[in-house]
Structure 1
Amino acid sequence: MVMEAQDCQLPPEMLDIISKNLDFDDLFQFAGVCKSWREFHKIYCINFLASQAPLIFQTSSYSKDDYSFYSIPNQRAYRLKMGSLWGYSYSGSSSGYLIMAGDNDTLLLINPFRRRKKVINTSVLRGKFSSSSCRALLAFAKGSKEFVVVVSCTSHHSLHVYQSRDSGWVTHSIRGNPWNVVDFVVLHNTIHLITDKADIGILNVNSTNIKFLELNNAPSVTFSRLRLVSCDEQLLVVHFVPEKVLDVYKIDFSTMNYEKLETLGDVAFFYSSWTNFRALRNPSRWGYESNSMYCICLFAECHVYSVDDNKLRKHIVASGSLQTPGRSNFYWLDWCFPHLHDEVDYSLVK
């Protein structure tokens, strides 16, 4: 039912109560009632997304088109209707967007919080993207609506960079080199990457060049499990094996050294096998514990590792599947940070 504008004037307190009981999809219907509700919705969404990070993106075991977000602190699910995504596989979450790789030579970028969608043609690239072999990052050009997508594919040993300003792909081939790119993050408006030999480089989005940093004491490892974390203006390197190893290093750019950390301090890590590591300073603001690693598993289970002198003490903070009608149970796929927005500055890398 569509209400007339003169019938929509309700106190902000009542609109807040109504909004808190709605799913994401219902909130968009809420915004379409009238002008005053639409203005309230804009402010509410900004505050909501800032207060809900991080959320867990989950999908149904019965229907691949059934998605939702789950808040561990609130123990609440927010449903989504994103339409049919048959033929698409999940490849990551970045800058508030879900990245889906399609069998039809496309990458689909969906922002479920803003209802924005971008489709990128990948037909010029060799090989097929799949969730099991690809990692993806989305970053926006500073001061612009243009964006960059970085995709690494271990299955065909390449690093691909897409720029919306010219709708083109550039491939950084790594075949024949003694390293593989295993992760990348945005720090100080530039894209940093790490190889399986712990070499760290800066990606030039204007060319095929990768400038590797001259670090003095890189650890002697060859691991595809190495991950980069951008946290509080610092670059961290993590080697993590569930229940076995958690080594965390800070890159000291003044000395160009790897500095091993014995504690995370007032920081929490968030990890799933599908995505990059994420980190939050002052995680208690969102209902999570400091000096901890939150590791989500399938079948809606989250293992939490407390970090103390580099020893892992595990306990389960949440378990059991979200109860849904019929035959569907939900799998937990990945962490999503809807309030984060990565930006790159083209002028910083020459």
Structure 2
Amino acid sequence: MVLQGGSDINLRRPRNKKKRLVDNNNLRPWSELPEALVHLITKQLGAIDYLMFGCVCRGWRSYVVVHRQEFMASQPPLVVFLSTLAQKSCYFYSIFDQKTYKATLPNLIGKSCYSLTCGYLVMEDKKKMGHSQIWLLNPFTRHELRFSCPPNPYSSVILASLAMPVREFVIIAIGCGYPFLQFCRSSDVNWTVYDYNDKFKGGVTDDQRWFVDVVVFKGKIYVLTNLGEIGVLNLNSHSYVTLLEVKSIGAWNYALQLLAFDDQLLMICRVEPFEKKENLVYELNFLKMEWVKMQNFGDQALFLGHRKSLGFSNITKWRDSRQSLNCIYNLGIPTDKYTIHFLGGRYPQSLTFPIIQRRRRCMHVTDDDCCVDDDFCFDDNFCFDDDCCFNDNCCFDVPSRKISIPEDSTDVQFWYFPHLSCNVDVLSDD
């Protein structure tokens, strides 16, 4: 997988015939640039520009690798546009500096992205077959993981790593409405199915409970039920869930999600339709074992989107922190809009992505079982330079270009958090 982009440089434009005399004896390679200057340069870069910077030479790449996690922690989330008809690419867009990047991905024909976990796009086959796989793809590090599909229905998955002498990954799948969860280690041949139907026996709603979300927090796996109950999942040889004695908030009518952020374990209550109503955020107080409603986010902002693309971000850590804080950035439908909900009582703002333009669908069939579009297309009113220079390891800024999507498109965009691309949540040994 390679990240690519367009350049405004026309490599075939007429050049001045006068040759400039250069004393090569006074030139030094870029790799010898002092680290202090390298640091100053990278402070002016965005997340993907930073990755591109590491492609220049080996010395800069070493610097990028060493400082990547710290740098990515200071970056705001990007919006990803990935068409359900995409063949080979997606787009990253920053709502804060209006930069657009095109990412060239491996062959996406017959695949769809339905979720995110630890910076990985979770891809699956559109047509399920016996050999279908769950394909995890990190667009920043290009790392890929493949797991066989679980034997039972599922609605979402998360990825974690095991603290072992040899690094091992584990993928956990849950299915809303089903009384079981499934998991598979990278060294396993088959999935393990944990049926928790007996866990809720004896209650009035024992047949109406199921897990709706799962998250890794401080080395442990926390699961959340549709009734707002929370428990800890243990993946040893005899898997089990221990429900915590936490007072329920009575969240039967909410769409619930868990979010681990720094030292906070949060529960997001998304009121449908969540683009138009207030979303409630609760923090779990482990001393009192109760959910406490967050009345103020302070210097932070919550980013909500589709396909489990949600997260908190401390805006003061960003390079340019002149952005709205103590608010919720919400990706909704239609695809070309997003909203900002302020906790201080200000009226919500509805904003439009300036890079999006609707167009009439133009479809064609490339084979017997796959009808595809041109991914997202550039607007014809904007020139795309065919003579752009490309690098197999980098992506380039695509300034002043619009992404054109079909008028009847049902595609949804989602948030991508750069800091999550650097590592996978680690489970503790106990």
Out of 416, 421, 428, the position equivalent to 1:336 is: 416
Change (3 A) 1:306 1:25: closer
Q: Does 1:316 align with 2:361?
A: no
SS of equivalent residue, structure 1 residue 329: strand
SS in structure 1 opposite 2:124? strand
Work out which of the residue numbers 162, 168, 177 in structure 1 matches 2:184. Answer: 162
Note if contact 1:94-1:336 (Cα within 8 Å) is conserved in structure 2.
no
Q: Note the 1:1-350 alignment, pairs <5 A.
A: 9-10=29-30, 11=33, 27=52, 31=55, 35-36=58-59, 38-40=61-63, 42-43=65-66, 46=69, 49-60=72-83, 63-102=86-125, 103-104=128-129, 105-122=132-149, 125-127=151-153, 134-142=155-163, 145-154=167-176, 158-173=180-195, 177-206=207-236, 207-215=238-246, 217-223=247-253, 225-241=255-271, 242=274, 243-275=276-308, 277-280=310-313, 282-286=314-318, 287=321, 288-298=323-333, 299-308=335-344, 313-322=347-356, 324-325=377-378, 329=404, 333-340=413-420, 341-348=423-430
Partners of 2:259 and 2:48 in 1: how far apart?
A: 31
Shift of 1:169: 1.8
Pairwise CA RMSD: 3.3
Q: Which deviates further from its counterpart, 88-97 or 329-338?
A: 329-338
After superposition, the Cα gap between the structure-2 partners of 1:224 and 1:317, relative to the gap in structure 1 and judged at 3 Å, is: same
Kept in 2: contact 1:56–1:71 (CA 8 A): yes
Shift of 1:320: 3.6
Q: Which runs of 4+ in 1 moved over 6 A?
A: 21-26
Partners of 1:276 and 1:26 lie apart in 2 by 22
Alpha-carbon offset, residue 235 of structure 1: 1.4
* CA 1:44–1:189: 2 relative to 1, 3 Å: closer
Corresponding letter in the other structure for 2:305: S
Provide the C-alpha distance between the structure 2 equivalents of 1:51 and 1:262, rounded to a whole number of angstroms.
25
Q: Is the contact made by 2:329 and 2:338 (CA closer than 8 Å) also made in structure 1?
A: yes
Structure-2 separation of matches of 1:307 and 1:154? 30
Could you say if the C-alpha distance between residues 21 and 295 of structure 1 is closer, same or farther in structure 2, counting changes exceeding 3 Å? closer
Q: CA deviation at 1:64?
A: 4.5
TM-score with structure 1 setting the length: 0.80
**Unaligned regions of 5+ residues in structure 1, if any?**
1-6
* 194 and 24 in structure 1: CA distance in 2 versus 1, 3 angstrom threshold: same
Q: What is the CA-CA distance between 1:121 and the residue it aligns to?
A: 1.1
Contact 1:9 1:36 in 2 (8 A): no
Q: Quote how far apart the aligned CAs of 1:61 are.
A: 7.0
The DSSP-based 3-state class of the residue aligned with 2:109 is: coil
Offset of residue 108 of structure 1 = 0.4
Seq. identity, %: 25
Please tell me whether the aligned partners of residues 80 and 416 of structure 2 are also in contact (alpha carbons under 8 angstroms): yes
Give the deviation of 1:157 after TM superposition: 5.4
AA in 1 matched with 2:102: R
Contact 1:306 1:312 in 2 (8 A): yes
Please list the CA deviations of residues 128-152 of structure 1 after superposition, one character each: whole Å capped at 9, or x if unmatched.
x6xxxx2221122236531121222
Which structure carries more strand by proportion? Answer: 1
Rg larger in structure: 2
Determine which structure has greater relative contact order: mean sequence separation of CA pairs < 8 Å that are 6+ residues apart, divided by chain length. 2
* Aligned residue pair count: 329
- What's the TM-score, normalizing by structure 2? 0.67
- Aligned partners of 2:415, 2:267: CA distance in 1, in Å? 19
Change (3 A) 1:91 1:319: same
